[in-house]
Structure 1
Amino acid sequence: MNRLSLNQKTINSSTLPQAIDACVRAGIGSIGVWREPLQEVGVQRGAELIAQAGLRVSSLCRGGFFTGQDRAAVLDDNRRAIDEAAELSAGCLVLVVGGLPAGSRDLIAARATVADVLEELAPYAADRSVRLALEPMHPIYCADRGVVSTLGQALDLAEWFDPEVVGVVVDTFHVWWDPDLERQIERAAGRIASFQVCDWITPLPADTLLARGVMGDGHIDFPYIAGLVAKAGYTGDVEVEIFNADLWRQPADVVVPLIAERFAETCGY
């Protein structure tokens, strides 16, 4: 339990103060913060509330969407996200890199854009001691959310930079299927900035963004992946991040004890 972090999306209807209170009541020592509910209370006030509760911030979600057509707006928003992560002393800023630009079918160009924007942002993050965390996304999201689909692709980008400036996210939902996963997690030693867990459930809902389940309800071998991550030297917080409409309809005081129980049962911590 001392490594469990509650990602805010798991209790999506809760405000940041409510999510902080839920962590405290459950004895969870870390929280993954999302930028939208953070803005509702203000970055400075949010940082104060988290510090007063004695919580760590395992990550700030999210920056990225580098493939947007307005490069200046993309850079401005990501610099703001970096500043917010610095204010929170977040363990990392999670980057969802973006899908294909509107009307484009050119994956090669989109991935080149990701590399270009990352190169522009890395010095800004380094100056503020913020670690950028590239999140590879399952290929079903390649068109609209993440043209970086595998951990190997994320590492190919990250390895151009100091590992304390650019790392990667290992999210079980996005990587569990990868036949090269063992080798890539071994390769990621020293670069794992965040480890996120939730299950892959079937049948997939109509909105595949909401296809995540509570650990143990689906198909992922959590002890196996957690073992690979541990072997790679990762000792940080483990976030439970679940996008699921049924779960979101339940009260936080029901959801949080459930995920704490399943985390202990499935992840081996």
Structure 2
Amino acid sequence: MASMVDGLSINLATIREQCGFAEAVDLCLKHGITSIAPWRDQVARIGIDEAARIIHQNGIKLTGLCRGGFFPAASAADRQSAIDDNRRAIDEAAALGADCLVLVVGGLAGGSKNIEDAREMVRDGIAATLPHARASGVPLAIEPLHPMYAADRSCVNTLGKALDMCETLGEGVGVAIDVYHVWWDPDLAREIARAGREQRILAHHICDWLVPTRDMLTDRGMMGDGVIDLKGIRRMVEVSGFHGAQEVEIFSAENWWKRPADEVIRTCVERFHDCCRI
């Protein structure tokens, strides 16, 4: 195994098209990476018990489990179904020892054009889920998404909005700061400082914003290939008191998902050292 790479985590979406869970873990270990963040579907394919065995046997740290959320829905029955699924996600995160459950909260309810109603459904959904999360010892990390996703993926689009929601909900809820979604925000420095004062930062996700971007969902860039000030944002995050791993999360249908997984992880390590560490 290569020498340990401190401060780097791999979100397994980065190599989801090339590797299953066990193979991805082996590859990360080969490159000295002992922190990962899997997705629930990746865990489900191998089974929660086997995934937990692999994690604990290899001393793997989970910087998060992706994902819970998607609370808004047109009917009460569908909203309750989302709450039930989030409780299951909490159980999975607890079984795997994840630092947090990442929440992509959901967009507009079906047939609705009212984004404030959607945000209220998100608050209500998290509030209903939160007692189980607290009892299980699993913090919930609201991940604000870029405004382009407001209708279908997340009606919480700025770090400030996410922190307002955290204040309302109380203990056990924080934020995942993904540079892809927040780098553009003119209030970013102020809100990262606020998140630090309130001790709400649970995760820090990295990749890059390409110019041009060919697909808004599946054309994220490798660190250093785009326009995000990765070191500047990391400096703000660390000044605010968060020193956890930087978690690489890249969706790249036409580039990195087509390359050999070993090349992708090797490049992640190189770019982490060159572009992200301060």
Specify the alignment match of 1:2 in structure 2. 6
What is the Cα deviation at residue 50 of structure 1? 1.2
| Percentage of identical aligned residues | 48
Aligned residue number for residue 49 of structure 1:
54
| 8 Å CA contact 1:3, 1:29 repeated in 2 | no
Point out the more displaced range, 64-73 or 251-260: 64-73
Tell me which stretches of 4 or more aligned residues in structure 1 moved more than 3 Å. none
The equivalent of 1:76 in structure 2 is 84
Note the C-alpha offset of 1:208.
1.2
Note if 1:30 corresponds to 2:44: no
Structure 1 residue 162 displacement after superposition: 4.2
1:259 maps to: 268
CA RMSD of aligned residues (A): 1.0
SS at match of 2:36: strand
Q: Trace 1:84-233 onto structure 2 (pairs within 5 A).
A: 84-163=92-171, 165-189=172-196, 190-205=199-214, 207-233=215-241
TM-score normalised according to structure 1 size = 0.97
Give secondary structure in 2 for the equivalent of 1:87: helix
1:108, 1:158 → 2: CA distance? 16
Cα distance in structure 2, aligned partners of 1:211 and 1:250: 14
| Counterpart amino acid of residue 195 in structure 1 | H
CA apart distance, 1:52:
1.2
Q: Deviations over 1:150-205 (max 9, x none)?
A: 00000001123444x10101100000000000000000011100000000012121
Specify every segment of 5 or more residues in structure 2 that has no aligned partner in the other structure, as ranges: none
- 8 Å CA contact 2:123–2:169 kept in 1: the answer is no
What is the letter of the counterpart of residue 55 of structure 1? I
Structure 2: distance between partners of 1:221 and 1:151: 17
Are residues 1:16 and 2:21 paired?
Answer: yes
Query: How much does 1:131 deviate?
Result: 0.5
**Count of aligned pairs:** 267
User: For residues 202 and 144 of structure 1, what CA distance do their matches in structure 2 show?
Assistant: 23
Q: Is the 8 A contact 2:209 2:226 kept in 1?
A: yes
- The answer to which of 99-108 and 172-181 deviates more is 99-108
- Secondary structure of 2:148's aligned partner: helix
Can you give the 5+ residue segments of structure 1 that lack an aligned partner in the other structure?
none
TM-score by length of 2: 0.94
